[in-house]
């Protein structure tokens, strides 16, 4: 395994170039779109998620949000059946870089498979 493969993904590095200030939008979504299986569960439970009929996969309307939108985005991450129910939607607290959901490891580390 190369050193690049050994290196864990740092949530603070993903998508931050065009991000709003953390104080305004303290949460973000990291989405493994290449692993989406188009089950549509996320769109059923969250107004932030929709199914793109052209690509056949889900997509978020926004990647950055505040406390008002936290619960339904967490629910979308928790119900995603991709990756053998580990999910491909990750909700991250930008203040701490901890994965809030789905957090299959139970330790707040980002559970992406890149």
Does residue 6 form part of some domain?
no
Does residue 30 form part of some domain?
yes
Does residue 57 form part of some domain?
yes
Does residue 9 form part of some domain?
no
Q: What's the pLDDT score for residue 74?
A: 98
Q: What's the pLDDT score for residue 7?
A: 59
User: Which range of residues forms the domain containing residue 50?
Assistant: 24-101
List average pLDDT for each run of 10 residues in the chain, which is 114 residues long.
Answer: 56 86 97 94 97 91 98 98 94 96 92 87
Does residue 15 form part of some domain?
no
Does residue 113 form part of some domain?
no
Q: Is residue 87 within 8 Å of residue 102, measured between CB atoms?
A: yes
CA-to-CA distance for 85 and 10, rounded, in angstroms?
A: 22
Structure tokens at 25: 């939008």
Q: What's the pLDDT score for residue 6?
A: 52
Q: What's the pLDDT score for residue 114?
A: 79
Number of domains into which the chain is organized: 1
CA-to-CA distance for 38 and 4, rounded, in angstroms?
A: 29
CATH number at residue 96: 3.30.70.20
Q: What's the pLDDT score for residue 1?
A: 40
Does residue 53 form part of some domain?
yes
CA-to-CA distance for 50 and 43, rounded, in angstroms?
A: 5
């Amino acid at each position: 395994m190369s050193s690049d493969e050994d290196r864990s993904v740092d949530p603070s590095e993903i998508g931050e170039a065009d991000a709003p200030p953390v104080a305004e939008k303290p949460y973000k979504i990291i989405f493994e779109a290449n692993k989406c299986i188009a089950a549509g569960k996320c769109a059923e439970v969250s107004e932030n998620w929709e199914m793109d009929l052209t690509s056949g996969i889900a997509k978020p309307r926004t990647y950055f949000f505040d406390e008002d939108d936290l619960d339904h985005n967490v629910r979308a991450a928790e119900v995603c059946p991709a990756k053998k129910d580990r999910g491909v939607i990750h909700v991250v607290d930008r203040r701490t870089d901890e994965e809030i959901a789905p957090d299959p490891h139970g330790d707040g580390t980002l559970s992406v498979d890149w």
